[in-house]
Amino acid sequence: MNARERVIGAIRREALDHVLILGGNHARKVLTDYQDHCNGHRPHRSRQQLPPSATEQPAIVHDLDDRSMLRTRVLGGLINEYRYAA
């Protein structure tokens, strides 16, 4: 299996299998949202768990009890992104 087949399979399994596409514009919106999630938030092993758009590791949080988590829903809640509140 080559890289292109892996990417297409991941897009299908993680997004398209769970969304009823209603037309060309809707398909472009779903694929754009998925692309933004993968490039801006999702960790990649080949980049030491950094997303492709990140340039450095996030700051280490030492006191987790004082921090609250924020959730961002992507694709109507199909994918959830989590981050610490500032």
Assess whether pLDDT exceeds 70 at residue 8.
yes
Assess whether pLDDT exceeds 90 at residue 78.
no
Q: Looking at residues 37-61, what average pLDDT do you find?
A: 75
The bridge status of strand 79-84 relative to strand 69-74 is: antiparallel
Half-sphere exposure of 73 toward its Cβ, with a 13 Å CA cutoff? 4
Domain spans of the chain, in order of start: 3-84
Chain mean position to CA 81: 7
Assess whether pLDDT exceeds 90 at residue 29.
yes
Q: Looking at residues 22-48, what average pLDDT do you find?
A: 86
Assess whether pLDDT exceeds 90 at residue 26.
yes
Assess whether pLDDT exceeds 80 at residue 45.
no
